[in-house]
Amino acid sequence: MTSAITLDDVGIVLGGLRILEGISLDVRPGEFLVVVGASGSGKTTLLRLIAGLSRPTQGRILVGGEPVAGPSRKVAIVFQDYGRALLPWRTAAGNVALALESVGTPRAERADRVAALLAKVGLARHADKYPSQLSGGMQQRLQIARALAQGGWVLLMDEPFGALDALTRQGLQDEVLRIAAETGLTVVFITHDLEEALYLGDRVVLLGSHPGRIEQTAAVDLPRPRNQLGTREDPRFLALRRELFGHFAGHAA
Amino acid sequence: MTTRDRHGLAAVPFGLAGLAVLLAAWWSVTALALVPRTFLPAPALAWAALVRGWTVGDLAGQTAQTVLRMLGGWLLASLAGVALGSLVGLSATARRYLGPSLAFMRALPASAVIPVAIAFAGLSPGMVLGVVAFGSLWPTLLSTVHGFATIDPRLRDVASALHMSNAAFVWKIGLPNALADILTGMRLSMTVALILSVTGEMLAAQQGLGQAILLAARSFRSADLFAGLILLGVIGIASTLVLAAVERRCLRWR
C-alpha cells in the first residue's frame, strides 16, 4: 500500500537557522500519527511543510504520491490559535461556509452541509453565533468543522488543544478520535504533551530540538476506541510513557 | 456593546444639558448687550431668521446644494479611497514606496489646493466637487491602507490552505478585516467634505450655505449668518449620527 504522506530526508533552514534536519517519515492512509516535541523542535514548521505553506530547503515531501508544490485542498489544517484563524465577522455557520465556498460546493447544498458539519462537532445550536460569543473549546470545534468542510483526506492539527483547560481538552481528544474513526482521515497531530500523544496516536514520533530531528518512533498498540480512564491506566500506556519520557525530558529541559 | 450604549442613549440628557447651558450663555451675552447685535444676534432672532429663510427664502435650496456637494465629493472620495487603499494596503512594497507621499498629501490642508484647482478648472462647480473629493480622500485612503496592512498572517495561511483566489481573499478577508478602519476613515472624510464644500462655495461663488453665510456676513445680517451656521452644525451632527449607526450595524460581530 502506498503511503498517504512521505517525507524523504526533509530539512529546512530559515533565516540561517537549521530548523529541521533529515526527517524521513511515512504515514499510512488512515493512520493517526502524533508528533511530540518540546517548543523549538520545529514541529509546527514540520506541519507547515506538509501543508505546503512552507517549502523545504532539502529533501522532498509527497502527499498521496504527489510532490507538495503548495497548499492543496486535500490537506486541511487546524491551527492552534483559533482566535486568529477564525473570521470574527462571520458566524459559526459562515466560517464553515468559507471552506465550502472555496472548494466550490454549490450554493444550494451549502446550508445542509454546514448544518451537518456543525452537528458533527456538537455546535448545531450555535450556528448563528460569532466566534467571540463561543468558548475556546467551541471555537476549536468550529475550526475542526471548517477543516472537515474542505473535504480533504489529510487532517493536520497544530497543537489544537494547547490553549484549552484539561477537561475541555479531554472532551475534544475523544471527539477528534471519533471523527477520525468515522471519516477514515489520515491525521498528523502535533503536541508537546506526551500523554496526549500516546492517548491519541497509532504511532508517536518524538522530535528532538536544535535542529529538529526524529529521535524515536513508537507504535502505540492500545485498543480503540480509547477511553480517558481505561486507556490511561493500561499497563502498555504506562510502559510507553515511561520509555519515551526519558527521551522527551532530556530535550525538554 | 454595553459601553457603547452608555455613550449613546443614556448620554442624551447630559448632551442636552450642555446644549442648554451653551444657549443660555449665548442668550445672556445678547440680553446684556455685551456684543453689538450687528455681530451676534439673540438666539430667538437667529431662529426666526432660520424659519423665515427656510419657508420664504431659499435656505432649504442652499442647504440642499451644500449637502449634495458634500455627499457627492465624499462618495467619490470613499470609492477611490477604498479602491486605492486596498491596492496599496495589500502590498508591502507599495506601502513602502507610497506611504511617505500619502502621509504628505494627508497633512496638506486641502483648502490650500483650491487656488491650484481654480487655476486648472476655473470657478466651476466641478472644481469645487473635485476639491471636496480630493481633500476628503485621504482619511479614507489611509485608514483603508491600515486596515489591509493589519490582516493577521494567520488569516493569510487560512486563505492559502483553502486555495482562495486573490479576489476572494480581498472580498472575504481583506475588506471585512479593514471595515472598522474604513468606516472610521469615512467618518473623518465626511467632516472634511463638509468643510471643503463650504470653503469652496465661499471662494468660488457657488450656490450653497457657504455663499449664503458669506453674503450675510458682508451685509451685516447676523441673524441670517447664524441661521446658516446652525444648519451647518445640524448637517455635521446628522451625518455623523447616520455613519455611527451604519458602523454599529456593520460591526455587530464585535
pLDDT digits (tens, 9 = 90+) for B206-229: 899 999 999 999 998 999 999 999
Q: Which stretch of A88-102, A186-200, A236-250, B204-218 has the lowest confidence by average pLDDT?
A: A236-250
- Indicate whether B23 and B83 sit together in one domain: no
- In sequence order, the β-bridge partners of residue A27 are A5
CA-based radius of gyration for chain B? 22
Write out residues 213-232 of B within 8 Å (CB-CB) of A: none
Q: Which helix (H) or strand (E) holds B112?
A: none
Chain-chain contact of B161 with A53 (C-beta, under 8 angstroms) = yes
Q: Quick one: which of A112, A139, A154 has its CA closest to A27? A: A154
Q: Of all residues in chain B, what percent carry a pLDDT higher than 90? A: 70
Q: Which domain holds residue A202?
A: 5-252
pLDDT, chain A, mean? 92
Q: Average pLDDT of B105-128?
A: 87
CATH number at residue A77: 3.40.50.300
Q: Which of A102, A132, A142 to mutate to test the interface with B (most CBs of B within 10 A)?
A: A102
- In sequence order, the β-bridge partners of residue A157 are A78, A189
Nearest 10 degrees: Cα torsion A225, A226, A230, A232: 170
- Indicate whether B59 and B26 sit together in one domain: no
- Which chain A residue has its CA at the smallest distance from B160's CA? A71
Please tell me the predicted confidence (pLDDT) of residue A252.
47
Q: Quick one: which of B236, B233, B199 has its CA closest to B109? A: B199
Does position A253 have pLDDT exceeding 50, yes or no? no
pLDDT tens digits, one per residue of A61-78: 999 999 999 999 899 999
- Indicate whether B107 and B217 sit together in one domain: yes
Q: Which of B1, B150, B158 to mutate to test the interface with A (most CBs of A within 10 A)?
A: B158
Does position B7 have pLDDT exceeding 80, yes or no? no
Q: Which of A54, A89, A133 to mutate to test the interface with B (most CBs of B within 10 A)?
A: A89
Does position A158 have pLDDT exceeding 50, yes or no? yes
- Indicate whether B207 and B153 sit together in one domain: yes
Q: Average pLDDT of B190-199?
A: 95
> Which residues in A lie closer than 8 A to residue B161 (C-beta atoms)?
51, 53, 71, 75-77, 150
In the structure grid, which three cell numbers stand for residue B66, read together? Answer: 451644500
pLDDT tens digits, one per residue of A225-237: 999 989 999 999 9
CATH number at residue B154: 1.10.3720.10
- Indicate whether B105 and B175 sit together in one domain: yes
- Indicate whether B207 and B146 sit together in one domain: yes
pLDDT, chain B, mean? 91
Q: How far is A88 from chain B (nearest CA, A)?
A: 7
Please tell me the predicted confidence (pLDDT) of residue A210.
82
Please tell me the predicted confidence (pLDDT) of residue B2.
42
A201 pLDDT band, cuts 50/70/90, is very high
Nearest 10 degrees: Cα torsion A122, A82, A87, A105: -50
Does position B3 have pLDDT exceeding 50, yes or no? no
What's the number of domains chain B is made of? 2
What's the number of domains chain A is made of? 1
Q: Which domain holds residue B3?
A: 1-34
Does position A185 have pLDDT exceeding 50, yes or no? yes
Please tell me the predicted confidence (pLDDT) of residue A38.
86
- Indicate whether B10 and B104 sit together in one domain: no
Does residue B90 belong to the interface with chain A, where contact is any CB pair within 8 Å? no
Q: Average pLDDT of B52-68?
A: 93
Cβ-Cβ contacts under 8 Å for A249 (sequence gap 6 or more): none
Q: Is the peptide bond before B125 cis (omega within 30 degrees of 0)?
A: no
Please tell me the predicted confidence (pLDDT) of residue A1.
55
